[in-house]
Structures are given as structure tokens and as C-alpha cells.
Structure 1
Amino acid sequence: MKVLVAVKRVIDYNVKIRVKPDHSDVDLTNVKMAMNPFCEIAVEEAVRLKEKGIATEVVAVTVGPKAAQEQLRTALALGADRAIHVETDERVESLGVAKLLKGVVDQEKPDLVILGKQAIDTDNNQTGQMLAALAGLPQGTFASAIGIEAGEIEVTREIDGGLQTVALKLPAVVTSDLRLNEPRYAKLPDIMKAKKKPLETHTPESLGLTVSAAPALLKVETPAERKGGVKVASVDELVDKLKNEAKVL
């Protein structure tokens, strides 16, 4: 079976985010970029399926600028067999990404599509669900465990009440949660081998699609600094502060 795994280029989670002086966007000047952590989990799961002999090919795909090929090479170093880059310099929202990924799915005909449940920059948690809807495929979101047998995949999902297990017919779309696995680190020999693995480049137009205008980004601000808490001597004092200072009562 063929597994298609989507990855996204984001600011490294260890980096302190800076906002541009004019508040027009996040400042990316000399900022370290990395693969979205949930996408790392998705790549790891796809590679493990190949190591178990369940998957025969793992294909990594990303949508983004030319620099996003760095994250595809990382996926190749972690064990993906080849990569597909849908190159665009436009800011693409979740629905646009889902449409572009559907174009790739239509070409590649994978048996399983794995995505991270969300990206740590936009935090939307939408692309996997939108892709499943557009492609008409069953979906298992927030996966903490998966098992594949006889053309069916069982996905254990993390929900508010605990765990839920769903059975899906393949092909299907799965989004990975934190507890699905622990991603490996790429070894130096694998990083060198990744440079020779095939990386195919597309444009939205070559997939028969256009990147529609995204919602206008009006302003970006850093969160307000939180003030230190205070201890109160009694319930009456607490109620008074909530009523007169915080004004939440």
C-alpha cells in the first residue's frame, strides 16, 4: 500500500515569536524554521508502517515556498521514499491546502493519507477534515493508535470522554495526535541519502487549481503580558476583587 503524508513548514517551536514593527505579520527574518511537530509524528507513523511491511511506499508532500523543500528533505531523511512539493509563495489557508492536497491525492491514488492534526502556527485543526470531505474518504482524527488489516484501518481517537475506536475502509484520511508515537531523529547518513531521493515539484496550476485569495490579515499582536496573582484573606475579599477589579461578576 502507498502512504501519502503531508508536512508543513513552521517556525521552530523553540523560537520566541517576534511581531513586525508595523504589526503586519510575524517577523521571519533569520528565524529557524522546522517541520510542524504533529507532521513529524505523521511521518514517523508512515515510516513505521513501511518497516512493518504494511506500506510499500511513503510519499511526503508539502504546500509552500521553495524553502519548504528543506522540510521535505527532512521527511526523506526520516524514511520517506520520495517527495512532492506544491510550490507557491502565496499565503494558503486550510481549505486551499486541502484542495491542493486533493489534487495530489487524485494523481497519486494513495491507500492512506496521514496528516498532523494541526499546525502550531495557525492552530486551525482543519486541513485533514477538509481533505477527507473533498476527496470523499472516511476519516479518523486525533489518532493515538492505528492498526491495519485486510483493507481496513482501526483508529483509536482521543476524545473528551476518553478513547474511541473507529473502523474505516481504505483508502482513508488519518490525523495524528501527540501520543501516536515518538518521532525519531534523522541520522547523518540518512540525511546525505535524502539528497539523492526524488523530489517532484508542482504548481497549483499544474494540478488544475488556483490559490484563491485568503482572508486579509489585518493585524498581528503579541499577547498581553499576564499580571502576577495576589493572595486574598477571605472569600469576601475574593468576591470583591472579582466584582470591582476584574469585573467578571
Structure 2
Amino acid sequence: MHDDVPAAGHARHLPNFREPVTLAKDLMTLDDVSGGRVTLGIGAGTSSGFDATVYGGEPWSARERTERFGEMVGMLDRLLTEPSVTAEGTHYSAHEARTIPGSTQQPRMPFLVAAGGPRGMRVAARHGQGWVTTGAGEDLTPEESASDVGRQVERVRSACADAGRDPATLHTVLLTGFTPDPLLDSVSAFEEAAGRYAAAGIDELVVHWPIPGTQFAADQDAFERIALAHTGGSR
């Protein structure tokens, strides 16, 4: 959670659902109507589950999914920063695609690139203002989880260095709800978890609103106390 940043919209997308040209135009519109307060969160998706099969086709292989992801992010970068784009990729193309009047945020909205493998981390290093991880799963202790996330941070920083980029310029984000931390049990539990992940190199925790009956279920009152403690508000 941020203490000093105003609420902003996050548009989350996977290559499974969009073509780059239409997605870029949708994002440009959101950027406009929000007054430049949208951040794009984008990841490669999975080879199973709803997002892989909703259109009725065969799921992509891990290789194809990763290839499409890199191509999608690179083309979005161009579409949202250049007045006219012509590009022919393996999976996606554009012919004199124009995003008029252009992005509200300049040179474009921030990209938060979710990646756990080396190819995805290279995409984050090249195009992302931020990198997102969900950790390594729930079959660990909280301390083991933080250590694993720390190793992921080291790998994405290495990808930045390999790309000739200062690793300190890449914002690091943990999307919570997929680690063993009971961070929404209380304010103190949240702060303990936040401290562990900060020490591991994470700049920001993204917390789901409690949804009963799901893996994101949590006590609403505790959630609100945590939110208020870290935004300076009052009930």
C-alpha cells in the first residue's frame, strides 16, 4: 500500500483477450477519462483455466504464450508512444495504426509487467516501469516465501543490468493473496509481512479487497483498519 499516492485505476490484461491495436486504443481512452491515473498491469496468463480456454480454442503452449506476451508488450509500448505504427510480428501486426490524440500521461501510462521466468523478466526490464510477482506459492513458511521473492528480485534486477538499465528504476510489486502470509489478520501482521518483503526488495504490496468464499477472503474490519493505518484516514 502507498501512503502518499492518490488512488489510481489499474487495467489488468492478458494477451489471450486482446489484439495490441484495439487494446492500445482502449487504454488511451481510459487514460483520458481518468485524467492520467491509469496503470497497465499485464502478464502472459496461464496454459490452463478460464483465460486459456474462454474463446474455445486450444490453449497456447508455454513457449507461444511467452512469445505473444513479449510481442504484445513491445507493440503496446510503440502504439502508446508513437503517432503512427506499422509493424509485422509473428503473432500481431499493425498497419499505420494511429492513437489519436495520444496518451494523457507522457510518454505513456506506466506498465507493471508480471513475470516469473527469465524471458518475462527481460520484457519487464525492457518495457516496464514496474515488475509484479505473486511469490512462489503457499506451501512455504512466511520467511521462506520472503526469501524466494528476494531471489526473484535479484533475477529481475539482473535482467535490468543485462539490458543496460539501472535496476533501481524498476518498481517492484508483490500481488498478495498467493503467499502464506496472514497479512490481513491484523495491522501488526500486515506490518510484519510488509517488513519481510521490503527487506527482500519489494517496493509495494497490492492487496485484494476481501471476497468471501475465495482465496481472498478476510475479515472486513481488519482490512479497513490496515487500510486506514497506511493511508492516514479515519473511520
Q: Would you call these one fold, judging by a TM-score over 0.5?
A: no
TM-score category (smaller protein): under 0.3
Quick check: which one's helix share is greater?
A: 2
Quick check: which one's strand share is greater?
A: 1
Larger Rg, first or second structure (1 or 2): 1
